[in-house]
Amino acid sequence: MKRVPIDPVTSTVGHFITGAAIAPGTKGSTAHIALVYYFYPVSNCVNNCLLNVGFIQSSTAGSTWTAAETLAGPMQLTWLPNTFSGTMVADYISVGCAGGKAFPVFAAAQAKTGSLFHEAIYTTTSGQVLSTPELELMSAVRDVAVPNAHSDHGPMEYLDQEHLIPISGKRPPERNR
């Protein structure tokens, strides 16, 4: 497993809910990986969070990466629906590759009108041209783990389909640090 060098290891940016694709016809050390994700510029934002959509890609199977780019945002969390587990942008996020281009697909929201939400699924109109190694300047090769680093969000408990009863013993595995 390799870290994707979207930001420096010591960054305060929080990345989550990803979608990834490997371009057809690519494999091995020249596999082209496209990654779309949601992020908070400041992960410890409490009630002032601004949600964005980012994109990064590699044509070297993850050895090097392009600089990250923001595709949408910032979105205020009040523009998003509130669910049983808090504000939710959606988990509809993916990337498709066709014709030498990557097409990130993601949900984005605009300010509400009264109680009417304005959230839809988007993609880039002309696609993201697949990168080449000479355009990829980011690498995680020299990164060193930050001692005692951890998420600022606690583990989530899995519940039954009605979201009422905890499902014991079925939590995601804790990572050893």
pLDDT at 151: 62
User: What does the block give as tokens for 108?
Assistant: 């984005």
59 located within any domain: yes
pLDDT for the residue numbered 176:
59
Q: Check whether 160 has a pLDDT greater than 70.
A: no
Query: Is 167 inside any structural domain?
Result: no
Task: Judge whether 151 lies within some domain.
Answer: no
In a 3-state reduction of DSSP, which class is residue 109? strand
H helix count then E strand count, the chain: 0, 10
Report d(CA 67, CA 172) in Å as an integer. 31
Q: How many domains does the chain have?
A: 1
CA distance linking residue 141 with residue 11, whole number of Å: 17
In a domain, 158, yes or no: no
In a domain, 4, yes or no: no
Task: Assess whether pLDDT exceeds 90 at residue 9.
Answer: no
Show Cβ contacts of residue 55 under 8 Å, excluding neighbours closer than 6 positions: 34, 35, 36, 37, 68, 69, 70, 71, 102, 104, 128
Examine residue 96 and state whether it is found in any structural domain, yes or no: yes
Rg of the Cα trace of the chain? 18
Per-residue model confidence as pLDDT tens digits over 65-114: 999 999 999 999 999 998 877 788 877 899 999 999 999 999 999 999 99
Give the position of tokens 């490997």: 22
pLDDT of residue 31: 93
Give the domain range for residue 42.
Answer: 14-135
Instruction: Lowest mean pLDDT of 102-111, 125-134, 149-158, name the range.
Output: 149-158
Q: For the segment 29-78, what is each residue's pLDDT rounded down to a tens digit?
A: 999 999 999 999 998 888 889 999 999 999 999 999 999 999 999 999 99
Q: Which segments of the chain are extended strands (E)?
A: 14-22, 33-40, 50-58, 69-76, 82-83, 86-87, 94-98, 101-113, 116-123, 128-129
Overall residue count recorded for the chain in this entry: 177
Q: What is the pLDDT of residue 163?
A: 63
Q: Which residue has the higher pLDDT, 136 or 104?
A: 104
pLDDT of residue 147 exceeding 80:
no
Tokens standing for residue 54: 């980012």
- At 152, the pLDDT band (50, 70, 90 cuts) reads low
**Coil, helix or strand for 30?**
helix
For residue 133, pLDDT beyond 70:
yes
Q: How far apart are the C-alpha atoms of 115 and 34, rounded to whole Å?
A: 35
- Examine residue 108 and state whether it is found in any structural domain, yes or no: yes
Q: pLDDT-based confidence at 168, cuts 50/70/90?
A: low
Q: Is residue 127 part of a domain?
A: yes
The pLDDT of residue 125: 83
